[in-house]
Amino acid sequence: MTDKLTHFNDQDRARMVDVTAKKVTFRTATAQGQIHMQTTTLQRIEDGQIKKGDVLAVAQVAGIMAAKRTSEMIPMCHLIPLTGVDIHFHNNGQDTITAEATVKTKHVTGVEIEALLVVQIALLTIYDMCKAMDRGMVISDVHLVEKDGGKSGHFIFDQQSK
């Protein structure tokens, strides 16, 4: 890999990359991750038996809120006007919930970090809401699934190269 790192200035100090000259294009990114838990925890989530409320509804809102605040949490991230954020949850019927988030914009830089943050915050929210009954939950496999738009073009995660 010979790509020059762009987040450093001529004094080798961190900087926010200048995107002034870049063209506005449609950009999208999808990320996913999992949270593993006890079977009884997943069953209680599905049955609406968590005292703090509807776990997945709260996780959905938390993820969307996180997307809108990404630049406040990730120092070199640009403030991006988002045009869409969607999160889907799937479970394996036993002990795992998968969160998948898609973030969209029409802007000069991509939304990969926003999509990754959405997944992390949604999964952390699930943990927070269920920790009283299951502190052994594990968040794993958070990764970019696909991104499109911009100079670097289309990317699809290759499970084989993991």
Q: Which residues are catalytic?
A: 128
How far is CA 106 from its chain centroid? 18
Structure letter (DSSP) for residue 94: S
Residues contacting 109, CB < 8 A, separation 6+:
17, 19, 22, 27, 78, 80, 150
Q: Find, among 63, 19, 70, 44, the residue nearest to 137 by Cα.
A: 44
Residues contacting 60, CB < 8 A, separation 6+:
87, 89, 122
